[in-house]
Structure 1
Amino acid sequence: MTPATPARASALLSNLTAVRARVSTAVLQSPIPSKPIRLVAVSKLKPASDALALHQAPGSQVHFGENYLQELLEKSRLLPASIKWHFIGGLQSNKCVTLARDVRGLWAVESVDSEKKAKLLDKGWGERGPEMAATNHDEDGRLRIYVQINTSGEENKAGVEPAGAAALCRYVREQCPRLKLQGFMTIGAIARSRMTTVENENEDFVCLKETRDRVVKELGLVGDEAGLELSMGMSSDFEGAIALGSDQVRVGTTIFGDRPPKAEASVV
């Protein structure tokens, strides 16, 4: 793998630093008590050298997100095992076992929207060999998953309907012993994202928060188990998401720049 040029590495670091500053400012301005926000740098369709440039000091970025399984597999094999990978793309049932079993350093799968996919991820996680398991970033041996909620009601969007969230979460907790329910994720409607400001609340983010609160109540979760996270907010709307209580934002183009067409993208 050819390293990023000094100019490219410098530009990436500058972008990352600017996003981190904006996150910090948004936290300070939020009406919600200050809490650490996890920044996931979405490196999809960008070369592995870009991620490496940000992972190395002084950037020291740890959490990276990918949308495509094959690209994630390749990058996880090329890059240091210290990277914590998030799969945030559309999840196909026939790829769940491979995703959970074969990705080095897999930290979370954020797009779980059916019992079938949850069960297959649970199966794949159980098939990780000792070498792969050594790269797990977990405290208790389980794979973190987020239930994806279709908050916008768009037919082309993945995710379970808000009304079905509690049943899926109950299934994960009771039938998938290798999975840890980390929280909820949404990808809001583009038009709403573009209109989102700290003052102009995004309906999708409000819906995700209400869904989380309802699930916690319906499942009777208390203590640490009640602290289910909200993964919401991307390049165009992450400050508004933080204002509404997001625990994790997923930022790609603001850090890495515009992406090439998928057919032209290269990992190395």
Structure 2
Amino acid sequence: MQATPTRAQALVDNLCAVVSKINAVASPSHPVRLVAVSKLKPASDVLALYKETGHRHMGENYVQELLDKARSLPRDIDWHFIGQLQSNKCRKLAEEIPNLWAVESVDTAKKADGLEKGRAALVAASPEAPKLRVYVQVNTSGEASKSGCDPSEALPIARHIREACPNLQLQGLMTIGSIANSWARGKENQDFLLLKETALAVENELGIKLELSMGMSSDFEQAIQLGATNVRVGTAIFGERPSKRDAKAPENSRKA
């Protein structure tokens, strides 16, 4: 499992270009985590970035693809699951990937409970296993095609995670947002503003500080300017993915 030297160099160059853009809008007082999303790309791509740059935060959209990659790649990679989460897959995801750093797509209390059961089982077998970080995914655009809870539901879900899921750590809120708002020029992204507003309301009620996971290949710079602390970038690093027809699993969202 090894990328060609040409492919490895291209990935390194792409990652460096994204990091440079992030650094141009981030600051020491506003650090930003970059999650490199390798959805439908080979494990050799992830390994090349890992070896050549030391980058550790990697993201996947499909449970089985993440399970396969996590089993074959170095155990100190910090995996993020960012895809649509099915309730019946939650326990498996949380239990079988010790280095799963975060699940960013929790939009119901039921899914949080499934992750809690899985992580509790892992902790029972390996007491040193850390809590699993989770983000509540909010559907800020109101599109039926997007996953995520209604903004009004973010607080009850967040409170449930805090009070009923001792093996989970509430890390923040996440949104995907609409393509129209992402590409709009001359005005601030309304999805990002709504996520920020929702997070402030949750923070005030629970007395905590939350991260904002928002921004992808086409809009991560504006997301950072509006408060993002975690951005999920795939295409700008790994290149275009296979078409829906050729993909191993159906697409669920726009490009990361």
1:86 aligns with 2:86: no
Map 1:120-199 to 2 at 5 A. 120-128=114-122, 136=129, 141-195=130-184
Letter of the 1:209 partner, please give it: K
1:118 pairs, out of 102, 106, 112, with 112
Instruction: Tell me how many residue pairs correspond in the alignment.
Output: 248
Distance 1:237 1:34 in 2: 21
Q: RMSD between aligned alpha carbons?
A: 1.8
1:42 pairs, out of 31, 37, 46, with 37
Q: Which residue of 2 aligns with 1:210?
A: 197
Q: Which residue of 1 aligns with 2:66?
A: 72
Distance 1:98 1:246 in 2: 29
TM-score (norm 2): 0.92
Distance 1:5 1:131 in 2: 39
1:249 aligns with 2:240: no
- Which consecutive residues of structure 2, in runs of 5 or more, have no partner in the other structure? 249-256
Residue 103 of structure 1: how far off its partner (Å): 1.9
Whether the aligned pair in 1 keeps the contact of 2:107 and 2:138 (CA below 8 Å) is yes
Cα 1:19/1:133, change in 2 over 3 Å: farther
Residue 229 of structure 1: how far off its partner (Å): 0.2
Whether the aligned pair in 2 keeps the contact of 1:46 and 1:265 (CA below 8 Å) is no
Whether the aligned pair in 2 keeps the contact of 1:68 and 1:89 (CA below 8 Å) is yes
Letter of the 1:210 partner, please give it: E
Q: Which runs of 4+ in 1 moved over 3 A?
A: 129-134, 261-266
2:220 pairs, out of 233, 238, 241, with 238
SS at 1:56 equivalent: helix
- Which consecutive residues of structure 1, in runs of 5 or more, have no partner in the other structure? none
Letter of the 2:189 partner, please give it: N
Distance 2:246 2:222 in 1: 33
Distance 1:228 1:90 in 2: 21
Distance 1:132 1:104 in 2: 9
Distance 2:42 2:124 in 1: 28
Whether the aligned pair in 1 keeps the contact of 2:98 and 2:122 (CA below 8 Å) is no
TM-score (norm 1): 0.88
SS at 1:145 equivalent: strand
Distance 1:116 1:190 in 2: 29
Residue 227 of structure 1: how far off its partner (Å): 1.9
